[in-house]
Chain A
Amino acid sequence: AQSVTQLDSQVPVFEEAPVELRCNYSSSVSVYLFWYVQYPNQGLQLLLKYLSGSTLVKGINGFEAEFNKSQTSFHLRKPSVHISDTAEYFCAVSDPGGSYIPTFGRGTSLIVHP
């Protein structure tokens, strides 16, 4: 079964600074990868997904992520964050050769300070 590691439980950053949220997954022949965002007391919303093709994936709200197969990573980046980006971010992986059901990381709390 796949596993996902989000190394940082909390990432504080100042407004307009760049940010990277790290995600590593266990090795597999092929994977589908996702990043979701969760605002307080709400469900999760899809930010971006990688199914195949270009390793650089662009999502909503100016976020992007890069699939790195050799390092089994799918880090999320944004060049300039806003206060409104303060939220919980979850990385998820699913195995297209298996059950497809995604496994989620424990989440990273992004805190943007003014």
Chain B
Amino acid sequence: SQTIHQWPATLVQPVGSPLSLECTVEGTSNPNLYWYRQAAGRGLQLLFYSVGIGQISSEVPQNLSASRPQDRQFILSSKKLLLSDSGFYLCAWNPQSDSPLHFGNGTRLTVT
């Protein structure tokens, strides 16, 4: 069966520090991969999605970036965190574009 792993679960980082959040999917190949950010009362904001290795689409211009170095690995990064980057980050995948999304358990990021 397919599983999605996302880590770390929680992270506290100072302003200006770098960020790396990792997401991996097991039990499938060539999944679509997504990064969402969730802020309280604001729903889910799509940050990046990828339909294949090295193919990244950005939905929101900001100081975050994403990479897909391997088929089932999706990484969210920042060179210098801002206070406004605090939030709950969710990775998700689906086997094809019209399928429901499967979510990881999220990373709670607090920038201090």
Contact = CB atoms under 8 A, between A and B. Distances in A.
Contact of B43 (A34, A45, A106): A106
B100 A34 contact: yes
Interface string A24-60: 0000000010101000011111100101000000000
Count class of interface residues, chain B: 20 to 34
Interface string B19-39: 000000000000000100000
Contacts of A102: 101
Given A43-B90, A105-B43, A100 B98 contact: yes
Nearest to B46: A101
Interface string B30-59: 000010000001111010010000000000
A70 to B, nearest CB: 24
A114 B98 CA distance: 39
Interface stretch (B69-77, B79-87, B103-111): B103-111
A89 B20 CA distance: 28
Interface string A53-97: 000000000000000000000000000000000000010001010
A interface: dominant SS: loop
B1 interface: no
Q: Which of B42, B46, B100 has the most chain A CB atoms closer than 10 A to its own CB?
A: B100
A105 B104 CA distance: 19
Given A94-B98, A102-B101, 17 more contacts: A41-B106, A41-B108, A42-B105, A42-B106, A43-B90, A43-B103, A43-B104, A44-B101, A44-B103, A46-B100, A96-B98, A99-B97, A100-B97, A101-B49, A101-B97, A104-B43, A106-B42
Interface of A: 9, 32, 34, 36, 41-46, 49, 51, 90, 94, 96, 99-102, 104-107
